[in-house]
Amino acid sequence: MKWLNNLKRWLTSARALCVVLLLALLFMRVSDPGPLEELRLRAFDIFQVIQPRVATQRPVVIVDIDEQSLRKLGQFPWPRTRIAEMITRLTELGAAAIGFDVIFAEPDRLSPALAADVYRDLDEETRNKLRALPSNDQIMADALKRSRVVLGVTGLPTPVPQTEGQPPIGGVAARGGDPKAFLFSFPGLLRNVPVLEHAASGRGLFSIRTERDGIVRRIPMAMQAQGNIMPSLSFEMLRVATGASTILIRMDGAGVTSVALPGFEMPTDRNAQLWVHFAPHDKARYISALDLIEGRVPADRVAQRLVLVGTSAAGLLDLKTTPNDPTMPGVEIQAQVLESILSKSVLSQPNYAVAAELGAAAVLGALIIIIAPILGPVYLLLFGALMIALLVGGSWYFFSELKLLLDFTFPLLSSLLIYVTLVFTNFVKEQAQRRQIRSAFGQYLSPALVEQLAQSPEKLVLGGEARNMTIMFSDVRGFTTISEVYKDDPQGLTALMNSFLTPLTNAIIDRKGTIDKYMGDAIMAFWNAPLSDPIHELNACEAALDMLERVDRLNREREEASKVNGSLFLPINIGVGINTGRCVVGNMGSDLRFDYSVLGDSVNLASRLEGQCKSYGLPIIIGSRTASVAKDKFALLELDFIAVKGKKEPEVVYSIVGREDMINSERFQRWHELNVRMLSHYRSRNWTGALAAIEEGLAAGGEHSFRTLYEIYSKRVRHFQVTPPPDDWDGAFALESK
């Protein structure tokens, strides 16, 4: 069942959240919301800016109704006779096909018959002569019949009544399904006057559809307009130039795949749109309509070329935004489509592109979910840089070498979101862990230690671990007597307890100790957990001496206060037991309540040592393991070799007399020499020598710190004089009380 537990932990981790996020992102790519599409298109724009199409051939020329033509020949629309003149000149110069990026939706108002009705002062003979002349539309129609001309039509947002006598729209076939569901559709269709359309070789939509951001990137090669499937102006020009009768739309299950003519098959997106690989705007594509009409255009500028008639004049409002040009005339976009097709430099986004992008995102996202928590920061940074290079580099390779548009932004974005989610969830988890640590240890550790533990939670093992630790127990001597003074003043007793527990606690915390618990007037503390402390024995000893000093200071303050108040003063005296050994530390308790605490035989011994402070009349008693580390830093005196109740092995115990500065003092050296001599005589059964050393110690200099200790040994020696210990006696004394 171990694998099941591991699976549960994995499913509840940040990785599980990222798996859900990855699936959501993949679903989002399938639905392809507008902002995601726009991001992808912007990336393709950058590619076009970096590497625009290089126009090595000039198969298309634009007859430009430019500003100078409008100044010389007047505002547009011009008389159809002038348009007929332009068609005739282009035909004579050898144009392969002519396409109009303008529309002639109404009869020419300057036709002779219309003029006869407009001018009232004309005599009837003149009127009849004018009515007998051919209309300007007919003159243009005659010019159309002598050439290969495609007239432009445009889609409208609302249906319009169709003029009677219009020729039927045809010339488009489909293979592989009905394309109508995928083609862009215009409810209405604005056509040219019937006489022109009958004379023209073809009709094509010059409507240009911008993307959501107003930029032209794709041109539909076939569209629906008022129920009719029609080719674009540019592709209809190719049909007319090649003499083909029909344009073929190829389909698959995902939509349109291409539009084709004999000798040409252009890959499109599912909506029959051609991705245009734009070249920079180039005036070399243009000839002025004025120059054409006035005969200044050489034949080699037109011969065997496709000719588009349109305008670059800003006043005629036919300027569009492309990826690498903010003001490109619409007629030049049509020209760039033809150039791309004829030079076989079209871009395409195959129908499998979405599957490829989804696959890349899924694989990369899964890799990040699996390895990101494992890798270190440096390797993760290198891995991220490698993935970015592969995605961007691969997308660039497909664009520059194969003319394929494969998006790198979605796999990159999804991977980034997954990585950020991993980082964020880990951050939230760490913050929660830090709050838990601050809450759990804020009452027991110094603020500095709590913050260190919060910043490095890996140093904490909450489940329990074995450590070498130093344990301290402290208790107030005679607290029952003190409590009786406050039997009618419980608030006063509480204030008193707080007044001595606070400085004792601060002394422990200031020396990197951890408060385990308060037991009435007693304190249990330990060192070397939860944070490691390489000098935990020394810190515990320093804390014990600090506690004595703070209690002395508190007693002086209380004594002065009692003199002012006239109240009874009972001094507070504490006993401290310290021991070092192997312990188990961690969260201990029940499902309802637990504490960070410590257990072990060494803990029990520390408690017993604290209990013997009163017996020996000394404030601090420490075990042998603590003493072995503290002997060079503190003035220690060996007290006894005791066998604690419930413990098989006897323990040598010591008392801390002072800090390092006392070790070499004459007074301590005297105590130490008397103590060593007394213990030596005692353990060698030299009762007379032991009593002599005890008497010398009791008479030495008025120092009463060891009086109780000497009295204990005096009593033992006199007992052994009467009742000697057994032959195997090793000097250990069995304690009868805990």
DSSP letter for each residue of 470-535: EEEEEEEETHHHHHHHTTT-HHHHHHHHHHHHHHHHHHHHHTT-EEEEEETTEEEEEES-SS--TT
Long-range own/partner contacts, residues 526-529 (CB < 8 A, 24 or more apart): 526/469, 526/470, 526/471, 526/472, 526/583, 526/585, 526/598, 526/603, 527/469, 527/470, 527/472, 528/467, 528/468, 528/469, 528/470, 529/467, 529/469, 529/585, 529/598
At residue 183, the pLDDT reads 92
At residue 328, the pLDDT reads 87
3-state class of 229 per DSSP? strand
Q: 113 forms bridges with which residues in the sheet?
A: none
At residue 7, the pLDDT reads 47
User: Domain ranges in the chain?
Assistant: 2-49+351-417, 54-342, 456-630, 661-738
Half-sphere exposure of 653 (CA within 13 A, CB side): 32
Q: Is pTM, for the whole model, over 0.75? A: no
Helix, strand and coil percent figures for the chain, each rounded to 5: 50, 20, 30
At residue 149, the pLDDT reads 95
- Please give the C-alpha separations between residue 266 and each of 263, 269, 275, 340, 399, in angstroms, as whole numbers: 10, 10, 10, 10, 16
Amino acid at 23: L
The backbone region for 295, taken as left when phi is positive above 0, alpha when psi lies in -120 to 50, beta otherwise, is: left
Q: What is the pLDDT of residues 320-369, one digit of tens each?
A: 889 888 888 888 989 999 998 888 888 888 777 888 888 888 888 888 88
At residue 458, the pLDDT reads 55
At residue 168, the pLDDT reads 82
Report the distance separating Cα 688 and Cα 696, nearest Å: 12
At residue 166, the pLDDT reads 82
DSSP H or E stretch at residue 130: helix 124-132
The tokens for 182 are 């995928």
Whether residue 403 contacts residue 277, with contact meaning beta carbons closer than 8 Å, is answered with yes
- Tokens 């390797």 correspond to 379
Report the distance separating Cα 40 and Cα 220, nearest Å: 19
615: CB partners within 8 A, 6+ apart: 708, 712, 737
333: CB partners within 8 A, 6+ apart: 208, 216, 219, 276, 320, 322
Pairing between strand 222-225 and 228-231? antiparallel
* Four-way CATH pick for 456-630: 3.30.70.1230, 2.60.40.1080, 3.30.750.24, 3.30.70.3190: 3.30.70.1230
Report the distance separating Cα 711 and Cα 177, nearest Å: 114
105: CB partners within 8 A, 6+ apart: 190, 191, 192, 193
At residue 456, the pLDDT reads 60
The 10 Å Cβ neighbour count of residue 186 is 23
Half-sphere exposure of 340 (CA within 13 A, CB side): 27
3-state class of 556 per DSSP? helix
Amino acid at 60: V
Whether residue 346 contacts residue 277, with contact meaning beta carbons closer than 8 Å, is answered with yes
At residue 451, the pLDDT reads 61
Report the distance separating Cα 513 and Cα 320, nearest Å: 76
Whether residue 536 contacts residue 579, with contact meaning beta carbons closer than 8 Å, is answered with no
- Which residues in the chain show pLDDT less than 70? 1-13, 116-120, 314-317, 432-463, 589-594, 646, 701-704, 736-738
